Amino acid sequence: MKRRTYRKLRAEQQSDHHNVYVVLLGPAAGRIRKVRALNPKRDPKKPCVYVGMTGLTPEERFANHKAGIKDAWVVNRHGIRLLPELYEHLNPMPFEAAAQMETDLAEDLRRAGYTVTGGH
């Protein structure tokens, strides 16, 4: 029987299990000065969203936000639900790809007129 070292086991667990996700925020989030400043060309008819990245499933991460566990304050206060139609086709991916995709997805949504927060 071949033994797996901790390092090998950890590498197997880490590959392709990161996800990007998008959370629909309530309309009050769009009235926050910081959020408006990040989105000067926003379309008021489109919703306010939060873009994030996680090693968990998007559903688990959203539950953590709402429970106050490593939460983004804007999602904790204004998060309504996930918007899987905007991110589902992208997941899962390795960490480096997810980190880049978080930024790219936020910029793409911002260009499309969404009011975007997160996505660093």
Instruction: Return the number of other C-beta atoms located less than 10 Å from residue 40's C-beta.
Output: 7
Q: What is the pTM of this model?
A: 0.86
What pLDDT score was predicted for residue 27?
A: 94
What pLDDT score was predicted for residue 84?
A: 97
Confidence of residue 2 (pLDDT cuts 50, 70, 90): low
Mean pLDDT of 30-41: 93
Work out the percent of the chain whose per-residue pLDDT is above 70: 88
What pLDDT score was predicted for residue 42?
A: 93
User: What is the token pair recorded at 106?
Assistant: 């936020």
- Hey, is 34 helix, strand or coil? helix
What pLDDT score was predicted for residue 13?
A: 54
pLDDT at 101 over 70: yes
What pLDDT score was predicted for residue 32?
A: 93
